[in-house]
A and B are shown apart, each in its own frame.
Chain A
Amino acid sequence: MLEVKGVHSYYGKSHILHGVSLELKEGELVCLLGRNGVGKSTTLKSIMGVVRPAAGSVRFRGQELCGKEPYKIARLGLGYVPEDRRIFRSLTVHENLLMGIKSGRQSAEGEAWSVEKVYRLFPRLEERKNNKGGHLSGGEQQMLTVVRTLMGNPRLILVDEPTEGLAPLIVKDVLEMLITVRQSGVTVLMVEQNFNAAIKVADRFYIMSKGAIVFSGNREELMAAEEVRKNYLEV
């Protein structure tokens, strides 16, 4: 479904991605692991077009994404949930959700996401529907960021560090939410620092170091590869 090949990206003059390649199949939940500053977020941004890759190719369902504006990529069925919970602070919760709707997009399969469905699944957001986004707690903001993206009925979502800075109890909520999302037929590519959280939810793993992929495998392979974990994950 998604095929990233030899992507090089820069921030200004600094070379961040040195030929990243990875693949996702329909329905998978894949986790991108690695230490701080190895290019995980930049990989997601390069797929979404927020950072424009200097070389390489990103293909989504047969279409080349490199060089396209983010809104065009979004309209092809990608969703992006950035780190730092970038909700629209001066919009109400309800308006934040409305912002996620893309006209004329149907869900991949099953029931499409709608404001009513979100409120049914997350009553806490309905209670706060007229509150300004900036007044929500960290956990509520994280949920809102994810469901706002789901409102556009994406086929694939890119989720950047969804559990960062959240209390352990809320981390559990957010992970359960991602599992629900995945069960609804949405493919997920997630960046995560929290190894213990990632190992519970993902089917497959990529590990990055210095702007390139250094490991790829499923849960058993990752647990077996002690050297890899020691070198690239543990502090």
Chain B
Amino acid sequence: MSEFLVFFLHGLAYAGLLFLVSAGLTLVFGMMNVLNFAHAAMYMLGAYFSYTIVMQLTGQFWMSLMICPVILFVIGAVVERFLLRRVHRYGHVQELLLTFGLAYIITELVKWYWGNYPLAINVTGFLNGTVSIFGIIYPMYRIFIFVCAILVGGVMALVLYKTRLGIILRAAVNDSEMTNTLGVNVPLVFMGVFAFGAALSGFAGVIAGPLLSTFPGMAQEILLDAFVVIVVGGFGSLGGAILASLIIGELQSFGVLLFPKLSMALVYLLMAAVLIIKPSGLFGEES
């Protein structure tokens, strides 16, 4: 019983991380129709910046949790304004190639500056502790990840469904050209959304650092799972990203426990099943 609980909690923690990575990815795709291959590379940058801030400069994990998203926000805004926007008129394939190239460049820069080996980020104090849940001792940090995901998801849902900005964002997901002709500065909205997506991926990277190891392959590792999340949840859907993150997180976790040999395949089997039954994803709009 307690073994199940541990794996369930592991699943929740991974689901939280997956959500933080995929929320930005799905929002950017839903609105701009750009599948951002560099998203996971930005997540990795978040983790490496965090390494420098925590392990080399300040020793404060909280500090990097605040600073890294801001740095990534700026990087995201610059990438959108000066690269993506110029390529936009040539079509989606070119946009895809741009983000693909960007992912490679970031990965190589990371190897060059930080080295091609794993780095450890240690958290101290409260987050390094444990909690007792139904008689089992569980690391506080994993609970913290899940709480962060709930907070971020909650704030995003509030903005999307309770504010004027949210109406504009959802309208742009439906039809960005129409939104533009109604007098909304859509290029600015795109830049903001792309920058926010990058900031969120940076935040996720900071969170992932102490949990998984920080190494140049970490982007690839999470990218596939994040893609599965947005396909299963439905492109552009926040609700879909939440549900799909939970499903994939738990599936990964229990897969290892119950079918160790199949655990890698389970996620893709699920994706195939969803694509066959409802090609637009669980929460996707039929088009």
Contacts and interface: CB of A to CB of B under 8 A. Distances in A.
Interface in B238-277: none
Contact of B181 (A80, A91, A98, A105): A80
B182 A99 contact: yes
Contacts of A50: 177, 180-181
Given A50-B177, A82-B178, A148-B182, A69 B171 contact: no
Contact of A70 (B167, B173, B181): B181
Contacts of B168: 99
B171 A91 contact: yes
A211 interface: no
A183 B60 CA distance: 66
Contacts of B167: 91, 95, 98-99
A39 interface: no
Contact of B182 (A89, A90, A102): A102
A193 B181 CA distance: 23
Contacts of A75: 183
Contacts of B86: none
Contacts of B181: 48-50, 70-71, 73-74, 80, 82
Nearest to B173: A90
A135 interface: no
Contacts of B171: 88, 91, 95, 99
Interface in A95-131: 95, 98-100, 102, 105
Nearest to B178: A86
Interface stretch (B38-46, B76-84, B184-192): B184-192
Interface in B161-183: 164, 167-168, 170-171, 173-175, 177-183
Contacts of A70: 177, 180-181, 186
Contacts of A91: 167, 170-171, 174
B108 interface: no
Interface of B: 164, 167-168, 170-171, 173-175, 177-187, 285
18 contacts: A50-B180, A71-B181, A71-B182, A71-B184, A71-B185, A80-B181, A82-B178, A82-B181, A89-B174, A90-B173, A91-B170, A91-B174, A98-B164, A99-B167, A102-B182, A105-B183, A148-B182, A149-B182
